[in-house]
Structure 1
Amino acid sequence: MPEGHTLYRLAREQQQTFAGRPVHVTSPQGRFAAGAALLDGRVLREVFSYGKHLFADFGGDTLHVHLGLYGTFVGGTGDPPPVKGALRMRWTAEGSDGAVVWTDLRGPTACEVLAEPEVQAILDRLGPDPLRPRADGAVAHRRISGSRTAIGALLMDQSVLAGVGNVYRAELLFRHGVSPFRPGRDVDAALWQAMWADLVTLMRSGVRMGRIVTTRPEDRARKRGAVQRDDAHYVYRRTGLPCRVCGTGIRTEVMVGRNLYWCPVCQAV
């Protein structure tokens, strides 16, 4: 599932491409036909993300998209490609240089038009998003510190923290030597403050790079130059491979429906 940095990049790209222009909205698949008809031809005011949610404000009506596990946005310039397969939604508009710009949405969990109170209801049930200006990590800690639930599960709870997914969960916990099985109430304020600051840095880097890289140069096989895929993470998808720090085999098990990865030595309970 795309994590928060991906939705932030998508929102920024669509804001730059479509905002301030009338947008032709269609639903070739038909599942979003009523919503497309409501938005078609209207000027797009703003596109923004919050956590794993994307919102496009058309003035009084807002498109809400959640990509889920399988959703994708693909776009380009020039005539859009012929429609193939289950294409939920297509946007087209005239770009600043007069050329046609387009974007296609396939396979989302949610694609719906909402009124302002409905948008606010979604935002109200989400925890702070580390990529949002003035986001308050202390809000997340109040929920974490009052819970006996394992921190590895709490980090995936979007009502606690918005935008964090399986990669950031595993890597953040490793970077701070925290067992994913530690109860949330045993994560003190000082530790959480350090974790929050690190998470903000990592996610901003993810936005800038377009990928998640969490390893420090000294822990990579290749110390200089572009970070190779095999060097990008400490524990994520490294089951059985030696820990980059202590050499112990990385372990995995399912937690809240997703594979969890950790080092049993560096992240001892």
Structure 2
Amino acid sequence: MPEGHTLHRLARQHQRRFGRAPVIVSSPQGRFVDGAAAVNGHVFKKASAWGKHLFHHYQGGRVVHVHLGLYGTFTEWPLPDDRTQPIPVGQVRMRMLGAEYGTDLRGPTVCEVIEEPDVADVVARLGPDPLRSDADPELAWRRISKSRRPIGALLMDQTVIAGVGNVYRSELLFRHRTDPFRPGTTVTSDEFAEMWTDLVALMKVGVRRGKIVVVAPEHDHGAPSYREGRPRTYVYRRAGDPCRVCATPIRTVELEGRNLFWCPACQT
């Protein structure tokens, strides 16, 4: 599932491509016909993101709310001078055409039109987003400090912190040598403050580079990444491989429905 940095990167990209101009919106797949008609031809005011949620704000007060889920993705292309559109490939839920670019959305969990006031209702269900300047880490800390759930589960809870997925969760805990099974009540305010600061910095790198980069230069060697073209990780999807720091085999277990990765020697 795309993590928060991906949605913020998309918001910035869509702002550049479509902002402050009318946009042609359609639904080649047919599952978003009414929603597309509600915003088609309207001025695209701005794009914003909160955690894993993307919002396209249109003049007139309507907002397209997108959650990519596990399989959702945007693809874009430059429009030729004659504005000929490519034939839709696959199940294109929403197609957007601006002055110079087009983009297709496929496979989202959510693609709906809401009213501007409804955005606040979506956000009210989420925790603070480390990539937003208005984020309140104290809100996340209060929720963590009152819970006996494992910190490894709390970091993935979007009502605690919005935008953290499995990669940032696993890697952040390793970088801070934190046992993922520690109850939230045992994590000190200083420990959380250090993790939050690190998380903000890591996610900003993710927005800038379009990749999750977590491994320090002195450890960025040896075994390749878990997937071709991805930066190396310390523990994520490295079960059974030697830890990049201590050589202990990385372990994995399912925690609240998601695979957790950690080093049993470094994270004690």
Q: Shorter-chain-normalised TM-score: which range? A: over 0.9
Q: CA RMSD in A?
A: 1.3
CA distance in 1, matches of 2:117, 2:45: 18
Query: Superposition pairs for residues 85-104 of structure 1, below 5 Å?
Result: 85-95=90-100, 101-104=101-104
Task: Name the amino acid aligned to 2:39.
Answer: L
The match for 2:130 is 130
Task: Name the amino acid aligned to 2:214.
Answer: T
Task: Name the amino acid aligned to 1:87.
Answer: V
The match for 1:225 is none
Q: Closer, same or farther in 2 for the Cα pair 1:229/1:243, shift >3 Å?
A: farther
Q: Closer, same or farther in 2 for the Cα pair 1:56/1:230, shift >3 Å?
A: closer
CA distance in 2, matches of 1:163, 1:200: 11
- Structure 1 outlier segments of 4+, above 4 Å: 228-231
Does the aligned pair in 2 maintain the 1:212–1:232 contact within 8 Å? no
Q: Closer, same or farther in 2 for the Cα pair 1:181/1:103, shift >3 Å?
A: same
Secondary structure, aligned partner of 2:22 = coil
1:11-30: CA deviation from partner (whole Å, max 9, x where unpaired): 00000010111100000111
Secondary structure, aligned partner of 1:200 = helix
Unmatched runs of 5 consecutive residues or more in structure 2: 223-227
Does the aligned pair in 1 maintain the 2:212–2:231 contact within 8 Å? no
CA distance in 2, matches of 1:230, 1:20: 34
Does the aligned pair in 2 maintain the 1:156–1:169 contact within 8 Å? yes
The answer to whether structure 1 residue 116 and structure 2 residue 116 are counterparts is yes
How far 1:139 sits from its partner (Å)?
Answer: 1.1
Task: Name the amino acid aligned to 1:84.
Answer: V
CA distance in 2, matches of 1:32, 1:231: 36
Task: Name the amino acid aligned to 1:68.
Answer: G
Secondary structure, aligned partner of 1:14 = helix
How far 1:84 sits from its partner (Å)?
Answer: 2.6
Secondary structure, aligned partner of 1:120 = helix
Sequence identity (%): 57
CA distance in 1, matches of 2:260, 2:182: 14
CA distance in 2, matches of 1:32, 1:187: 44
Matched positions, count: 258
1:52-71: CA deviation from partner (whole Å, max 9, x where unpaired): 00000013110000000000
The match for 2:225 is none
How far 1:229 sits from its partner (Å)?
Answer: 5.3
CA distance in 1, matches of 2:104, 2:149: 39
The answer to whether structure 1 residue 69 and structure 2 residue 70 are counterparts is yes
1:212-259: CA deviation from partner (whole Å, max 9, x where unpaired): 11011111217xxxxx85762100011101111111000001112211
CA distance in 1, matches of 2:88, 2:143: 46
Secondary structure, aligned partner of 1:134 = coil
1:133-169: CA deviation from partner (whole Å, max 9, x where unpaired): 1312111010000000001110111000000000000
The answer to whether structure 1 residue 83 and structure 2 residue 67 are counterparts is no
The match for 1:45 is 45
Unmatched runs of 5 consecutive residues or more in structure 1: 96-100, 223-227
CA distance in 1, matches of 2:183, 2:229: 32
Task: Name the amino acid aligned to 1:108.
Answer: P
Secondary structure, aligned partner of 2:21 = coil
Secondary structure, aligned partner of 1:112 = strand
